[in-house]
Chain A
Amino acid sequence: MRGPGVLGALGALALGAQGARAVEEQPGGAHGGGHGFQVVTFKWHHVQDPYIIALWILVASVAKIGFHLSRRVTSVVPESALLIVLGLVLGGIVWAADHIASFSLTPTVFFFYLLPPIVLDAGYFMPNRLFFGNLGSILLYAVVGTVWNAATTGLSLYGVFLSGLMGDLNTGLLDFLLFGSLIAAVDPVAVLAVFEEVHVNEVLFIIVFGESLLNDAVTVVLYNVFESFVTLGGDNVTGVDCVKGIVSFFVVSLGGALVGVAFAFLLSLVTRFTKHVRTIEPGFVFVLSYLSYLTSEMLSLSAILAITFCGICCQKYVKANISEQSATTVRYTMKMLASGAETIIFMFLGISAVDPLIWKWNTAFVLLTLVFISVYRALGVVLQTWVLNRYRMVALEPIDQVVMSYGGLRGAVAFALVVLLDENKVKEKNLFVSTTIIVIYFTVIFQGLTIKPLVQWLKVKRSEHREPKLNEKLHGRAFDHILSAIEDISGQIGHNYLRDKWSNFDRRFLSKVLMRRSAQKSRDRILNVFHELNLKDAISYVAEGERRGSLAFIRSPSTDNMVNVDFSTPRPSTVEASVSYLLRENMSAVRLDMQSLEQRRHSIRDMEDMVTHHTLQQYLYKPRQEYKHLYSRHELTPNEDERQDREVFQRTMRKRLDSFKSAKLGLGHGATRLHRRERARRRNSSIPNGKLPLERPPSFTIPEKALELLEPEEAADDDAVSGGIEFLAAVTQDTATESPAGCDNPGFEPEEPGFLSRVPPWLSPGETVVPSQRARLQIPCSPGNVHRLAPFRLSTRSTDSFQPDDSTQGQAPARPEATHIAAPGAEATQVILDRMRL
């Protein structure tokens, strides 16, 4: 993998460390004494380069630990700013020690080793749907915006220069334009570091994120064009050259993107066949995407675009192909590399500044640059947004525009580019370097510090400050959920036609080529949303929750294996034991909890109020917009969110399942229809029908099915996932309709009998015959994998500690009041199970 690669390669960092080498000349012989054979030798030179690199990485990492010791500091000051300051301090120390700026961020290191992991990470974790949904706006900001920034800044500076305000500088128009182009781009590293902490809405996030990624490519192209113009000399630039420059812009960027896509294709294809080399599976992701970067660099195309698009395009197939562990490895490694690279970049931005040789001050130039980049950024954003809002379905509001303008941070890309300048051609290189450093510091530190308060202030201004009442809190949250549900129902924003076409093409051709067969199966539409969620877990949880009547196991991951074991072997006795046992255990746990709460509650009433508010505040499920972090360089697994999704998913599915079961149990008419289905399934099933218990009434279909489900698990994980979901889908699909009775889960069901009798729960009769969408799309997929979920039925069926009682139909059983919220599952199971035994 890349780990060692990065380390070794960072050796280049130390190449700038000539000074240190000289200082460390003396040791070795000192204690070794004389000559002859030496038991121990001190070989500093032998390890010097990697050693220094490792030390720097260590310093940066330890510093990160230090920053996060105090939450108060990191919540106010962005980490990037802290790192820069740290770098300044360290640089100062090093300089004080040997009066030579030994270490600096060299463009080679930056472009070859530090930038790729960051950009790859951004691409690989890009929320594709949003990205492509807003591609138009992103491109406009990235291309037109950057060109606008470069041109206006360069020209304005040149104008001021002509007025003589800057004194005597050895520059021309092209130098200013060159400078404008390198200072124009908003930096993805800096922007993300700050935006992650400011919670903005998803559209704004993706626009700024996408813009900062793509505009680097624009900057690099502009930079190259102007640099070659400067090399040619201002007088020799002809109209043809200008046209060539424009053409080269398109060639470079589109070419880069194409190289990325090609490598993504290759990568997806390769991961399709790595089943037997699991250990190096993650390596392919890194090596191939890095190769895409190098290849396009070699072809002098835009390397950033190449690796970005490589990440964007491969993510879907790679994630589907590689094993779960490999996916986790990729995720963690990528985050580690990106986060590490970012840390090093910011630190070295600080260190690099401590070098008197590069500093050349020109107050007018520096100040005017700051003013111009801010003003033109704002102006550009407002103008472009005005154009965009005429076409966008969701307009960008003024507050968004403020955040976008103010979030235009400059970063390491600008620095690396300015250092790359050739002093012989650009006479005022040092002035440009100093100004760039000042601009970076100003934007990262000052704007980074103030953007959060600014956003908060702008938001707070809109809503008055008042402690909301309980009702407002609860209903407000409910409204959020309602709204996001309605959004989901009414469909995504725009581009539906293209997206449909694309997903059609993808399903018919691309996925067939690029995905393993097993992975293809799991690509049912319903799964799209859950790709982040560990579906298999969720489904096991549903089953397990049913079986044990508790969600307690959610907290003990070790039970995961048990779930699987239980699936293959029904063990009625343990099940029976565990239901009651768990209920009991659960209750005691609750009691414990309550006791501690009780103590608090006995105090004053205000206190109680506070507790209630606090509980609500803390445990109310968050609406989607708030909790879905789109992309985060540092947070690996949004545990909270996943858990919420899992819990809700579990409840929903259980409820649907329960309705299905009860509806089914309540009737005999649907049986013939179902039988047809059953038979079709059985034909493909490896389980002989002889196993069917004879005492079952023939029209009673569930046990049959449940038994059939007993088929031992032989398939891969992916199958389990798809199986579970398909099962759920199938379950809802062939649910019969007539019986309104039997909504027996008080936790998840409407329990007012009046309501129940008025609303027949499921589908229209005509629908039961229609195969599920999945069946239509992928008929050959074996119905055998339909089964993962079901065995719990079998296990619950054989409990016999409860009296069968048919008369409870349609009436919710009283629930034990103090039980855990998940307890209803157990009751439902029991009621169902009672009926099943009839």
Chain B
Amino acid sequence: MGSGSSHTATIPDLDDIRRETGFSQASLLRLYRRFRTLDQNKKGYLSRTDLEQIGALAVNPLGDRIIDSFFPDGNLKVDFAGFVRVLAHFRPIEEEDTGNQDPKEPEPLNSRMNKLRFAFQLYDLDRDGKISRQEMLQVLRLMVGVQVTEEQLESITDRTVQEADEDGDGAVSFHEFAKSLEKMNIEQKMSIRILK
């Protein structure tokens, strides 16, 4: 597909992207090839269809939600920078990331909080900063087999929300979301080794 011929020079705004995402040059090159492979008509951007062509996503319960996250704010296309920005959330956290952090710089995309925020916005469809009971139910519905009855689902949803809900408003805020997962090793769980 001719993707082998691409060099870093051909990636637009390489330096900015590197700074923002923290990806290594080699990773970016690899991702750029991937980007161009996905971009079926050589448009220079990806549309939903391009991502939907990835077969494995069709059997991933959250596949379409992930695709949604590439198109925030009603965008119809995502360019390479946007593409990489999403993936950057999954870069493993390295020693130097935490060590010499400039307080003026924004938190890197792959920080624990940003990883959590990424997951959170997959649940929070209406972007009101809270996972409502309804939103939780929808996710749950996506993720369990058909054997589970609707009532069971609702009961599980209620319990899940109750468990995390601290201020009693019947919804899970980001703070509560993060709190309920504080014991979990998000840094490791939400990182992909190949994304360096």
Which residues of A are in contact with B by a Cβ distance under 8 Å? 393-395, 463, 466, 469-472, 474-491, 493, 496-497, 500-501, 504, 525-530, 533, 551, 554, 590, 593-594, 597, 609, 612, 615-616, 619-621, 624, 643-645, 647-649, 651-653, 655-656, 729, 732-733, 737, 746-748, 750-752, 754-755, 758-764, 766-767, 770, 773, 817-823
Cβ distance A613 to chain B, nearest Cβ, rounded Å: 9
Cβ distance A29 to chain B, nearest Cβ, rounded Å: 65
B143, B163, B186: residue with the most chain A Cβ atoms closer than 10 Å: B143
Q: Given A477, A490, A615, which contacts B195 in the complex, CB threshold below 8 Å?
A: A490
22 contacts between A and B (CB under 8 A): A394-B193, A470-B159, A472-B181, A472-B184, A478-B122, A482-B66, A486-B86, A526-B55, A612-B155, A619-B144, A648-B60, A651-B61, A732-B48, A746-B138, A747-B141, A754-B126, A763-B47, A767-B41, A770-B41, A773-B53, A820-B146, A820-B150
Cβ distance A163 to chain B, nearest Cβ, rounded Å: 46
Q: Would you call B49 and A732 a contact (CB within 8 A)?
A: yes
Give the distance in Å from the alpha carbon of A305 to the alpha carbon of B30 in the complex. 33
Q: Would you call B66 and A763 a contact (CB within 8 A)?
A: no
Complex: chain A residue closest to B33, CB-CB: A496
Q: Would you call B149 and A616 a contact (CB within 8 A)?
A: no
What B residues does A737 contact at CB under 8 A?
A: 76
What B residues does A644 contact at CB under 8 A?
A: 59, 145
Complex: chain B residue closest to A533, CB-CB: B59
Give the distance in Å from the alpha carbon of A643 to the alpha carbon of B4 in the complex. 38
Complex: chain B residue closest to A646, CB-CB: B59
Q: Would you call B143 and A477 a contact (CB within 8 A)?
A: yes
| B8-34 vs A, Cβ < 8 Å mask (1 yes, 0 no) | 000000000000000000000011011
Give the distance in Å from the alpha carbon of A472 to the alpha carbon of B49 in the complex. 32
Q: Does B113 contact A (CB under 8 A)?
A: no
What A residues does B1 contact at CB under 8 A?
A: 500, 504
7 additional A-B pairs beyond A496-B33, A526-B58, A770-B41, beta carbons within 8 Å, are A472-B183, A479-B190, A760-B76, A762-B49, A818-B149, A820-B149, A822-B146
Give the distance in Å from the alpha carbon of A763 to the alpha carbon of B77 in the complex. 8
Given known contacts A469-B163, A489-B57, A479 and B119 CB-to-CB distance under 8 angstroms: yes
Given known contacts A471-B181, A554-B146, A750 and B59 CB-to-CB distance under 8 angstroms: no
Complex: chain B residue closest to A766, CB-CB: B43
Q: Which of B41-79 contact A (CB under 8 A)?
A: 41, 43, 47-49, 51-64, 66, 68, 71, 73-74, 76-77
Total residue contacts A-B, CB cutoff 8 A = 251
Q: Which of B80-115 contact A (CB under 8 A)?
A: 86-87, 90
Q: Would you call A488 and B54 a contact (CB within 8 A)?
A: yes
Complex: chain A residue closest to B70, CB-CB: A489
Q: Given B37, B156, B190, B193, which contacts A615 in the complex, CB threshold below 8 Å?
A: B156
Give the distance in Å from the alpha carbon of A817 to the alpha carbon of B133 in the complex. 14
Give the distance in Å from the alpha carbon of A483 to the alpha carbon of B155 in the complex. 27
Cβ distance A103 to chain B, nearest Cβ, rounded Å: 49
Q: Does B171 contact A (CB under 8 A)?
A: no
What B residues does A645 contact at CB under 8 A?
A: 59
What A residues does B190 contact at CB under 8 A?
A: 479, 482-483
Cβ distance B97 to chain A, nearest Cβ, rounded Å: 19
Q: Would you call A759 and B193 a contact (CB within 8 A)?
A: no
What B residues does A823 contact at CB under 8 A?
A: 150
What B residues does A754 contact at CB under 8 A?
A: 126
Q: Would you call A488 and B180 a contact (CB within 8 A)?
A: no
Q: Would you call B125 and A755 a contact (CB within 8 A)?
A: yes
Give the distance in Å from the alpha carbon of A530 to the alpha carbon of B141 in the complex. 23
What A residues does B48 contact at CB under 8 A?
A: 732, 761-763
Given known contacts A471-B160, A488-B54, A759-B74, A619 and B151 CB-to-CB distance under 8 angstroms: no
Q: Would you call A496 and B76 a contact (CB within 8 A)?
A: no
Q: Would you call B37 and A500 a contact (CB within 8 A)?
A: yes
Given known contacts A479-B190, A500-B3, A655-B64, A474 and B160 CB-to-CB distance under 8 angstroms: yes
Q: Would you call A490 and B146 a contact (CB within 8 A)?
A: no
Complex: chain B residue closest to A597, CB-CB: B152
Cβ distance B3 to chain A, nearest Cβ, rounded Å: 6
Give the distance in Å from the alpha carbon of A488 to the alpha carbon of B66 in the complex. 11
Cβ distance A365 to chain B, nearest Cβ, rounded Å: 44
Give 10 closest A-B pairs by Cβ, nearest first. A529-B55, A491-B34, A752-B126, A497-B4, A471-B180, A488-B56, A485-B66, A764-B76, A750-B125, A645-B59
The interface residues of chain B, by DSSP majority, are classed as helix
What A residues does B186 contact at CB under 8 A?
A: 479
Give the distance in Å from the alpha carbon of A649 to the alpha carbon of B62 in the complex. 11
What A residues does B49 contact at CB under 8 A?
A: 732-733, 762-763, 767
Complex: chain B residue closest to A496, CB-CB: B33
Given known contacts A488-B54, A490-B195, A469 and B149 CB-to-CB distance under 8 angstroms: no
Q: Would you call B180 and A472 a contact (CB within 8 A)?
A: yes
What A residues does B138 contact at CB under 8 A?
A: 746-747, 750-751
Cβ distance B179 to chain A, nearest Cβ, rounded Å: 9
Cβ distance A617 to chain B, nearest Cβ, rounded Å: 11
What B residues does A748 contact at CB under 8 A?
A: 142
Q: Would you call A527 and B55 a contact (CB within 8 A)?
A: yes
| B152-168 vs A, Cβ < 8 Å mask (1 yes, 0 no) | 11111001100110000
What B residues does A474 contact at CB under 8 A?
A: 139-140, 143, 160
Complex: chain A residue closest to B186, CB-CB: A479
Given known contacts A472-B181, A478-B119, A648-B60, A616 and B3 CB-to-CB distance under 8 angstroms: no
Cβ distance B133 to chain A, nearest Cβ, rounded Å: 12
Q: Given A469, A490, A525, A729, which contacts B34 in the complex, CB threshold below 8 Å?
A: A490
Give the distance in Å from the alpha carbon of A394 to the alpha carbon of B191 in the complex. 13
A470, A609, A822: residue with the most chain B Cβ atoms closer than 10 Å: A470
Q: Would you call B52 and A649 a contact (CB within 8 A)?
A: no
Give the distance in Å from the alpha carbon of A525 to the alpha carbon of B150 in the complex. 36
Give the distance in Å from the alpha carbon of A486 to the alpha carbon of B192 in the complex. 9
Complex: chain B residue closest to A397, CB-CB: B193
Cβ distance B35 to chain A, nearest Cβ, rounded Å: 9
Given known contacts A471-B160, A482-B190, A527-B55, A656 and B64 CB-to-CB distance under 8 angstroms: yes
Give the distance in Å from the alpha carbon of A472 to the alpha carbon of B116 in the complex. 12
Give the distance in Å from the alpha carbon of A199 to the alpha carbon of B66 in the complex. 28
Cβ distance A408 to chain B, nearest Cβ, rounded Å: 25
Give the distance in Å from the alpha carbon of A729 to the alpha carbon of B144 in the complex. 26
Given known contacts A481-B143, A752-B126, A764-B76, A488 and B149 CB-to-CB distance under 8 angstroms: no
Q: Given B4, B64, B145, B192, which contacts A647 in the complex, CB threshold below 8 Å?
A: B145
Complex: chain A residue closest to B2, CB-CB: A500
Given known contacts A615-B156, A621-B61, A590 and B149 CB-to-CB distance under 8 angstroms: yes
Q: Would you call A732 and B52 a contact (CB within 8 A)?
A: yes
What A residues does B40 contact at CB under 8 A?
A: 773
Q: Given A471, A528, A597, A752, which contacts B164 in the complex, CB threshold below 8 Å?
A: A471
Given known contacts A470-B160, A612-B156, A619 and B127 CB-to-CB distance under 8 angstroms: no
What B residues does A479 contact at CB under 8 A?
A: 119, 186, 189-190
Complex: chain B residue closest to A487, CB-CB: B192
What A residues does B147 contact at CB under 8 A?
A: 619
Cβ distance B89 to chain A, nearest Cβ, rounded Å: 8
